[in-house]
Amino acid sequence: MANPALREPRRSTPTPNAAPPPTRPPRAPGLWIALGWIALYFVLQAVGGGLIGIVLAIATGSVDSWQGLAHFEHLVHTALEQPGMQALLVMLTLGLATSAIVLLTCHRWPQLWSLARPPGFGFVRPSKIGYLPLAVAIGLAAPLLGGWLTNWLAQGHPVTQNIQQLGENTPLAWRIPLVLMVLSLGPLVEELLFRGVLLSALLQRWGTAAAVLLSSLAFSLAHLPGLDWQVFALPDLLLLALALAWLRLRSESIWPSVIAHGANNLLAVAAWFVVAHPGG
């Protein structure tokens, strides 16, 4: 007779209706992390732009020796005076900063990209396809209304943008690739940061209205340096940001806000081709 102690232990059969173990929902970015991510984007532009400027100065022959780098500020300025160099610097800097932010965000929050509602970043199809043409209409209408409001608040003061000055000083052949980047990479990374990471972080602390207002205010303030700190442009930026946040939440997708942002930028750079000359 076999020893009972040597018998094979009876295996427990799983219960057919047993519920799977609960999965923890993805965590939203913290508020300080979200603000740090935005700061990192602008630091990457500043530092990357400086390094790329030095490389362009070396490549164009503005630097004769490594000792000449001691006066790199003047050398970079001299290199950027050459046709198309400013546009090339902007494109390379924007490409570097955007690539770094997108890759880091994918690595940090991989589960949040495909979630429609916050804390997800909304890189999914909109809940209704009609939000896409609506986004184009909002993007084209916002700068018209905002421009009128800015000019009214400026009370005769000249309103200038760095991006407009850049286009006017760029040869025509360079304006086309520059426009493509301004209409695509710029809106993509800014919507990811402000209507994705930051808005999700704020919604964990406050209600929808407060989160939308605070994220829109942060977006507006971040763009003031590009307007030479002309504070009368702040209401225009704030209205645009509020519209973009509304599109993001209502459509349950970030793509309508990206499209509206790109359409808004399109009107900002349209003057580049109005003032264009065949020779640049």
Per-residue pLDDT reduced to its tens digit, 41-59: 999 999 988 888 888 777 7
pLDDT of 84: 73
d(CA 156, CA 223): 21
Per-residue pLDDT reduced to its tens digit, 95-108: 999 999 999 999 99
pLDDT of 280: 46
In DSSP notation, 14-51 reads PPTTPPPPPPPPPPPPPHHHHHHHHHHHHHHHHHHHHH
End-to-end CA distance of the chain: 101
Q: What average pLDDT does range 189-210 have in this prediction? A: 94
Q: Closest by alpha carbon to 143, among 263, 2, 14, 280?
A: 263
d(CA 175, CA 272): 7
pTM for the complete prediction? 0.82
- pLDDT category at 203 given cuts 50, 70, 90 is very high
d(CA 227, CA 253): 29
- pLDDT category at 217 given cuts 50, 70, 90 is very high
pLDDT at 171 over 50: yes
C-beta contacts of 203-208 below 8 A and 24+ residues apart: 203/28, 203/118, 203/119, 204/28, 204/31, 204/119, 205/31, 208/249
d(CA 82, CA 60): 9
pLDDT of 184: 92
- pLDDT category at 279 given cuts 50, 70, 90 is very low
d(CA 99, CA 93): 10
Question: Which of 3-12, 16-25, 195-204 is least confident?
Answer: 3-12
pLDDT at 7 over 70: no
Q: What average pLDDT does range 62-66 have in this prediction? A: 55
Q: What average pLDDT does range 259-266 have in this prediction? A: 93
CB neighbourhood size of 246 (10 A): 17
Q: Provide the token pair at 149.
A: 């409001």
pLDDT of 235: 85
Q: Closest by alpha carbon to 268, among 196, 154, 137, 179?
A: 179
Q: What average pLDDT does range 162-167 have in this prediction? A: 60
Is 224 or 74 the better-scoring residue by pLDDT?
Answer: 224
pLDDT of 231: 80
Given a contact cutoff of 8 angstroms between Cβ atoms, the answer to whether 144 and 267 are in contact is: yes
Q: Where are the domains of the chain?
A: 31-274
Q: Closest by alpha carbon to 261, among 233, 215, 219?
A: 219
- pLDDT category at 77 given cuts 50, 70, 90 is low
Q: What percent of the chain has pLDDT over 70?
A: 74
pLDDT of 278: 44
pLDDT at 139 over 80: yes
Most confident of 10-14, 52-56, 82-86, 186-190: 186-190
**Rg of the Cα atoms in the chain:** 25
pLDDT of 23: 60
Question: Which of 138-142, 196-200, 211-215 is least confident?
Answer: 138-142
